[in-house]
Every structure is written in C-alpha cells, then in structure tokens.
Structure 1
Amino acid sequence: MLDVELVELWRAGRVQLPALAGIYSRAAQELALVPHDDAEWTALRRQLVSVLAAAASQIDEAANGVTTAVAGYEQADEAAARELRRRLDAELPDGAKR
C-alpha cells in the first residue's frame, strides 16, 4: 500500500505538478504578449503576469519538495531493509539460509 502511495507522490512531483506549473507559466507568457494602450490595463496585466509567474515558481518548488521527500523515504527504506537483513542473518544458526 505504501509503495502505491509513494508512486503517486512521485508522479505528482515529477509529472502532475510540473505540468500545472507549465500551464501557469504559459499563461503568464501569453498574457504578457497581449497588447493594449490603456495604462490601467497595462498595470493590471503586469500584476497578473507577476502573480501567474510566482504561482508557477511555487508549484515547481512544491514539485521539487515532493520529489525530494520521496527520494528521502526511498533511501531510509533501503537502509531499514539492509538493517533487517543484517539482524535476520545474525539470528540464523551457522550455515542456515533464510
């Protein structure tokens, strides 16, 4: 069960969140290209582009955090598995196999 959840977290960090960040980033880029002469619209557009770009950056940071957490769990789990094998081997009589 935990492996399935880790795969979902990995997928979120490597696929889903980066895709979402890309949507926000493209929206910011496209909005920045919308021409207009009105000063109020230009100021609003600049603010919206800034908000969209910041959201894209924050989503990318979240994706990196999720990916780092999954990698950390994977390393800890591998260390725990090695320790379990070591302890099991220590419990076995000489020549016995697990």
Structure 2
Amino acid sequence: MFKKIVGKIRKPKFNFAKLSSQDKVNHLSDKAIGLFDHMKKTYSELDDINNQLEQVIEEEDQKVIQIVRNREKAKEEIQMNKKVQEKLVDFIR
C-alpha cells in the first residue's frame, strides 16, 4: 500500500531516449547552462570563503602583533624592576 502511494507521488523517471532530437538538444543545452550557473555559484562562494580566510589571517596577525608588544613590554618592565632592585640594594645592606 505504502509503495503505491510513494509511486504516485514520486517523479516519473526521465526517459531521454523517448525525446525528439529537438527536445534532446534543448535538454542538453539547459543542462549545460545549469552547469555554468553552478560554476558561477561555486566561483562566487570560493571568493566569499577566501575573503573569510583573509579575515582570519588578519585577526591572527593582530593577535601575534599584540603578543609581541606584550612580550616587549614585559621585558621592559623586567629591566626597570632590575634597575630599581639595584638602587634598593644600597638601602637594604
């Protein structure tokens, strides 16, 4: 019973062999155009993906720059602290 219902709802199978030559040409032409549309869509989507990847690279570059700045600042702080320690040694001894 279920198979009969599904069979009636299901699209009939496309029979390319029963088409006339003109219909075959039209069908194949439409199919080719569909492929080009698909390629255009793929090209556009790849462009969007590349833009997003460029953003990721930029974000990561900014993180690296911030890390380098933080490291440099920490090294400067260490040097300042060592100088202060040298000055305080005289008062401690």
- Give TM-score, length-normalised by structure 1: 0.55
Kindly report which structure 2 residues correspond to 1:56-75, keeping only aligned pairs within 5 A, or say none: 56-75=40-59
Q: Looking at CA atoms only, which structure, 1 or 2, has the larger radius of gyration?
A: 2
Segments ≥4 residues shifted beyond 6 Å:
none
Q: Unpaired runs of 5+ in structure 2? A: 1-21, 81-93
Aligned to 1:81: 65
Q: Unpaired runs of 5+ in structure 1? A: 1-37
Flag the structure with more relative contact order, 1 or 2, with Cα contacts below 8 A and sequence separation at least 6.
Answer: 1
| Identity fraction in percent | 12
Aligned residues: 58
Aligned to 1:9: none
For the aligned residue pairs, the C-alpha RMSD in angstroms reads 1.6
Kindly report which structure 2 residues correspond to 1:47-58, keeping only aligned pairs within 5 A, or say none: 47-58=31-42
- Give TM-score, length-normalised by structure 2: 0.58
Q: Distance in 1 between matches of 2:42 and 2:63?
A: 32
Aligned to 1:19: none
